[in-house]
Structure 1
Amino acid sequence: MTATVYYAELPWPEVERRVANGAPMFLPLGATEQHGRHMALNVDVVLPTAIAARAAAKVSGLVLPTIAYGNRSQPKTGGGPGFPGTINLTASTFSLIIRDVICDLYRQNIRKIVTVNGHYENISATIEGIELALDVLGRERVSDLTIIRIDHWDMIRGETLDRIFPDGYPGIELEHASVIETSMMMALRPDLVDLTKASHDGPAAFLPYDRYPKPCDEVPPSGVLSLTEGSSAEKGEWLLADCEAGVVEIVNREFSGR
């Protein structure tokens, strides 16, 4: 039991012991969102959880239960509300969850917190949640607290992107349910990927503005914003290795000597 990196799998005395030993706490931030016809709805849960677990194992950390619902899916980054399956939280709700979790971690003497995000639309709401937590705790009182906010795709090295996209990287926004996420899922959970159901109806060509309340017609019918062609478990391992190494490097740098 005590060998696990998962916080919720431990009894409270073991959590208390690890916290006393300075274990950094990883909080994966995900979403339940469509990822094309070829992948499960939990991609944004699986990826940050796995990356956090791999990094935690290297730095004697613990992985908190993943927040499995994300800030509202947008057409240009997640396909938007036009697909069955996606469950949205408002930005205010999501930020308040982040606030409350951080405040309660601080109450339990946890001073090293790392959020690992797997859902693009969570970015601004996560920042707001961290800021709200600091407002509640009192910025003048928390000089012993360090919170690191990471989006896992930012850990991917340029050399790896060049290797995977020799004809040019389309950008993380259009990579929704495309080569990066599909390859990582093929490496981690091949049982949740069926490339025979992938539709090559992208890439999306979005207009340079947003329009409400009319649905965004530029989203491909599959929900894949770019293409799945070229995805592989091997590429997924390259990507995961970058993400793990990047997170470990940041944690060692920011928490060294603490």
Structure 2
Amino acid sequence: MDQTTEWMRLTAAELNARAAAGALVIIPVASLEQHGPHLATGVDILCATAVAARTAAIIAAAGEPVVVTPCIWTGLAEHHMEFGGTVTLDYDAFAAVIRGVVRSAARCGFKRVMLLNGHGGNAEAVAVAASELATEFGIAVAAGTYWHMIGDAFAPILEAQPSVMHACEAETSMIMAISPASIRREKLAEAHGPHTTRVEGQPSALYRRRSFRAISESGVIGDARLATVEKGERLLDTAAERIAAMLRNPALW
């Protein structure tokens, strides 16, 4: 991440100046959880942080002030617990962590916050948090899950799926680009599973989370065997470009 946009590498005085200049604060939100036999548990942290960093770089290059906080690294991952290797919070604790970070940004003088989510299990919770915290703190708070925000933009890049699934072609490709040491390549042959978490007849708008252990023997949704570094770079750049354009829209704020 460019240190000129990374909150933890800026001094308090530098952050105060960013706040006075109307900087946008991007808060990556993720999860620490199983990602099949071939990926380390920090996939969502790495991907959310990378998308946030690339998004901020585009905004900064356009001459607009922006800072990115460290990632909120744990979220709602109960549906992965049966595999082990997973850390989860309950909703109240998760909402409290988000509230504390956003409240701190508001107290530092920032008026615009983006909760940039990188874990499917958090999607509804961050949306609710954005609405409640905007009202509570009197600032503009937006929220979205990066692959949901960009619609079908990932589809032309991927071979066997339209967007992000789990430990899949998309996530594995991005990790190949971000953190090759987080991949166990000798396990890639096992890294495939069903292409949906829904039972037959369940529409996307009907929510019923089940343990991934009951859905996928490998813990994978999709097929990681099709992953490549080139796909990963294109996915990350596409997400950043689309999201930066959204966040630069003054009408949003």
3-state DSSP of counterpart to 2:177: helix
Which stretch shifts more, 48-57 or 92-101? 92-101
3-state DSSP of counterpart to 1:218: helix
Deviation at 1:49, TM superposition (A): 0.7
Q: 1:96 to 1:201 in 2, by over 3 A?
A: same
Are 2:161 and 2:222, in contact at CA under 8 Å, matched by a contact in 1?
no
Cα shift readout 1:207-246 (whole Å, capped 9, x = no counterpart) = 358698xx66533222112211210010011111111101
Is 1:182 matched up with 2:172?
A: yes
Deviation at 1:154, TM superposition (A): 2.5
For the residues of structure 2 that align with 1:123 and 1:153, how far apart are their CA atoms?
A: 11
Deviation at 1:179, TM superposition (A): 0.5
State which structure, 1 or 2, has the greater radius of gyration over its C-alpha atoms: 1
For the residues of structure 2 that align with 1:157 and 1:131, how far apart are their CA atoms?
A: 22
Q: 2:155 corresponds to which residue?
A: 161
Is 1:221 matched up with 2:217?
A: yes
Letter in 1 for 2:173: S
Q: 2:205 corresponds to which residue?
A: none
Which stretch shifts more, 150-159 or 92-101? 150-159
Are 1:51 and 1:244, in contact at CA under 8 Å, matched by a contact in 2?
yes
Q: 1:13 to 1:200 in 2, by over 3 A?
A: closer
Q: What are structure 2's unaligned runs of at least 5 residues?
A: 61-65, 203-207
Is 1:193 matched up with 2:183?
A: yes
3-state DSSP of counterpart to 2:225: coil
Letter in 2 for 1:40: A
Q: 1:200 to 1:53 in 2, by over 3 A?
A: closer
For the residues of structure 1 that align with 2:153 and 2:131, how far apart are their CA atoms?
A: 34
Cα shift readout 1:90-111 (whole Å, capped 9, x = no counterpart) = 1121112212222221122101
Q: Aligned residues: percent identity?
A: 28
Q: 1:41 to 1:3 in 2, by over 3 A?
A: closer
Q: Post-superposition, which runs of at least 4 consecutive aligned residues in structure 1 deviate over 4 A? A: 208-212
Deviation at 1:157, TM superposition (A): 5.8
After TM superposition, the structure 1 = structure 2 runs for residues 1-258 of structure 1, keeping only pairs within 5 Å, are: 3-60=3-60, 61-74=66-79, 80-137=80-137, 142=138, 145-156=139-150, 158=152, 160-165=154-159, 169=162, 172=164, 175-198=165-188, 199-203=190-194, 206-207=198-199, 218-254=214-250
Cα shift readout 1:131-184 (whole Å, capped 9, x = no counterpart) = 3323433xxxx3xx322212111354635413423x553x64xx1000110001
Which stretch shifts more, 242-251 or 200-209? 200-209
Length, aligned pairs only? 239
Are 1:183 and 1:231, in contact at CA under 8 Å, matched by a contact in 2?
yes
Which stretch shifts more, 30-39 or 16-25? 16-25
Are 1:200 and 1:228, in contact at CA under 8 Å, matched by a contact in 2?
yes
Are 2:169 and 2:226, in contact at CA under 8 Å, matched by a contact in 1?
yes
TM-score (norm 2): 0.84
TM-score (norm 1): 0.83
3-state DSSP of counterpart to 1:102: helix
Which stretch shifts more, 39-48 or 149-158? 149-158
Are 1:204 and 1:218, in contact at CA under 8 Å, matched by a contact in 2?
no
For the residues of structure 2 that align with 1:119 and 1:44, how far apart are their CA atoms?
A: 6
For the residues of structure 1 that align with 2:153 and 2:245, how far apart are their CA atoms?
A: 17
3-state DSSP of counterpart to 1:88: coil
For the residues of structure 2 that align with 1:3 and 1:159, how far apart are their CA atoms?
A: 28
